[in-house]
Chains A and B, each alone.
Chain A
Amino acid sequence: MAGAFWCLVEDDRQGRPKKVTAEVLGEAGRRAKELGAGVEAVWLTDQAAEDGLRQLAAWGAARVWLWEDAALAPYRGEVWAPVVAELAGKEAPRAIWGAVTSRQREFVARLAARLGVGLAADCVGFGLTDGQLVATRPVYAGKLLSKVRWKRTPWLATLRPNVFRVAEADESRTPAVERPALSVPQGGSTFVERREEAQTGLPELTEAEIVVSGGRGLKGPENFVLLEELAQVLGAAVGASRAAVDAGWRPHRFQVGQTGRTISPKLYIGCGISGAIQHLAGMRTSKVICAVNKDPEAPIFKIADFGLVGDLFEVVPLLREEFKKLKEKG
Chain B
Amino acid sequence: MKVLVLIKQVPDTATQVKVSADPRRIDTTGITWIVSPYDEFAIEEALRIKEKRGQGEVVTVTLGPDRAKEALRSCLAMGADRGIHVNDPAFEGADTLLAARVLAAVITREQPQLVLTGRQAIDDDMGAVGAQVAELLGWPCLSWIMEEAIADDGSKVRAGRQVEGGLELFDLPLPCLLTAQKGINEPRYPTLKGIMGAKKKEIKELKAADLGLGEVAPELEVVTLEALPPRPPGRILTGDPKDMARELVRALREDIKVV
Which of A74, A109, A190, A192 has the most B CB atoms < 10 Å from its CB? A109
- CB interface residues, A 278-323, toward B, < 8 Å: 278, 281, 284, 287-290, 296, 301, 303-311, 314-315, 318-319, 321-323
Task: Bits for A49-63, please: 1 = Cβ < 8 Å to B, else 0.
Answer: 000000000000000
B249 touches A319 (CB 8 A): yes
A139 touches B234 (CB 8 A): no
B128 touches A119 (CB 8 A): yes
Kindly state whether residue A165 has any CB partner on chain B within 8 Å. Answer: no
A113 touches B126 (CB 8 A): no
- Using Cβ atoms and an 8 Å threshold, which residues of chain B touch A223? none
**Which positions in B face A, CB cutoff 8 Å?**
11, 13-14, 17, 19, 26, 37-38, 95-97, 100, 122-136, 138-144, 158, 160-173, 176, 181-183, 217-228, 231-232, 234-238, 241-242, 244-246, 248-249, 251-253, 256, 258-259
Pull 29 A–B residue pairs with CB atoms less than 8 Å apart, ordered by A.
A74-B168, A78-B139, A106-B143, A109-B128, A109-B129, A110-B134, A110-B141, A113-B132, A114-B135, A116-B97, A118-B219, A118-B221, A122-B127, A138-B228, A141-B13, A148-B222, A149-B221, A191-B168, A194-B167, A197-B167, A258-B37, A278-B13, A281-B13, A306-B248, A308-B237, A315-B241, A315-B245, A318-B242, A318-B244
**Which positions in A face B, CB cutoff 8 Å?**
74, 76-78, 81, 101-103, 105-110, 112-114, 116-122, 134, 137-152, 187-197, 204, 206-207, 210, 234, 251-253, 255, 258-260, 266-267, 277-278, 281, 284, 287-290, 296, 301, 303-311, 314-315, 318-319, 321-323, 326
| A175 nearest CB across to chain B (Å) | 25
| A141 nearest CB across to chain B (Å) | 5
A315 touches B244 (CB 8 A): yes
- Using Cβ atoms and an 8 Å threshold, which residues of chain B touch A194? 166-169
| CA of A148 to CA of B219, assembled, Å | 10
Known: A109-B132, A318-B241. 8 other contacts (CB 8 A): A106-B131, A109-B96, A139-B125, A151-B217, A194-B169, A307-B234, A310-B244, A319-B245
Taking CB as reference atom, which chain A residue is nearest B179? A106
- Using Cβ atoms and an 8 Å threshold, which residues of chain A touch B226? 144-147
- Using Cβ atoms and an 8 Å threshold, which residues of chain B touch A251? 183
